[in-house]
Structure 1
Amino acid sequence: MPSSSFAGSFSTPKLNVAIDTGNPLLNVTVDGFLKIGTVAAIKSLAEDAYYIIKGVEEDVHGRCLLGFVCAVLHRTVAGLYVGMEYGMERVRGTRDWKNAMLGGALTGALISAATNKDKDKIVIDAIAGGAIATASLFINYLI
């Protein structure tokens, strides 16, 4: 009886781009900005391709513009978060999960304060930012 088998391995391609600005904080911020922004841009392009293929063409221009704006916002938030986390690491003199929590909380508070004036909402967004950053760090350690 004929049989077949598959032997091999799959690996994802890796691309490392290093931009040296001469400042470690700025280097980490730019790196996070580029990586997360690239993911956001690819996500919006994939969504736009889906809608074009499905024949929803009436508002493709609006979707493309929205995708671009979302990619820029994701990059801004990512750069701010990475800078805050790195700043916490430098101020505290240690590298642990608390830097992610504090960096996420400060990022959430700053972005919330820039978009609204409700103090309760700013505190809630700071808590959410800290929780999301801490959870993502723990998930990153598990993977």
Structure 2
Amino acid sequence: MFVYVQVGACKVAAEDAFECLHKGNVSTNKLEHTLKKMCKEGAYWGTVAGVYVGMEYGVERIRGRSDWKNALIGGVVSGALISAASNSHRDKIVKDAITGGAIATAAEFINYLT
């Protein structure tokens, strides 16, 4: 789960570094703002990972099996929950649920290959 926190923080660092280089403007205020964004983004992705792991484990316990379907169901439920918590548009929630399921299933299959 710590990896997801790092991914979120690195994403912000890369985006803000590009912006600073593009504009040619680096300041203490901008650095402080970037650090706050890194913490917020890291916390968000850590939360997403926690929700997903909890959902996948719960599905595994309910089904009594350990296979790729747990990742699919866990990803769908996590995507829907996180989307529903941040917006109320039904179409967006469905799209995010499908995306969560697809990403989780793809990651599970890639994990089997390695």
The corresponding residue for 1:88 is 59
Paired with 1:44 and 1:114, the residues of 2 have a C-alpha distance of 22
Residues 129 and 44 of structure 1: is their aligned pair in 2 closer, same or farther, counting only changes over 3 Å?
Answer: closer
Which of structures 1 and 2 has the larger relative contact order (alpha carbons within 8 angstroms, sep 6+)?
2
Identity of aligned residues (%): 50
> Is there any run of 5+ residues in structure 2 with no aligned partner, and where?
none
Letter of the 1:115 partner, please give it: S
Q: Is the 1:44–1:71 contact (alpha carbons within 8 Å) kept by the matching residues of 2?
A: no
Paired with 2:13 and 2:88, the residues of 1 have a C-alpha distance of 35
1:135 aligns with 2:100: no
Give the drift of 1:97. Answer: 0.2
The corresponding residue for 2:26 is 57
Paired with 1:45 and 1:113, the residues of 2 have a C-alpha distance of 24
Please, what TM-score do these two structures have when normalized by structure 2? Answer: 0.81
Residues 39 and 67 of structure 1: is their aligned pair in 2 closer, same or farther, counting only changes over 3 Å?
Answer: same
The corresponding residue for 2:73 is 102
Give the drift of 1:46. Answer: 6.0
| Mapping 1:38-49, distance limit 5 Å | 38-41=6-9, 43=10, 47=14
**Aligned partner (choices 41, 48, 54) of residue 70 of structure 1:** 41
Paired with 1:106 and 1:135, the residues of 2 have a C-alpha distance of 16
Residues 47 and 116 of structure 1: is their aligned pair in 2 closer, same or farther, counting only changes over 3 Å?
Answer: same
1:111 aligns with 2:111: no
Paired with 1:60 and 1:76, the residues of 2 have a C-alpha distance of 24
Q: Which 4+ stretches in 1 moved above 2 angstroms?
A: 34-41, 43-48
> Is there any run of 5+ residues in structure 1 with no aligned partner, and where?
1-31
Paired with 1:127 and 1:111, the residues of 2 have a C-alpha distance of 12
RMSD: 2.3
Give the drift of 1:100. Answer: 0.2
SS in structure 1 opposite 2:108? helix
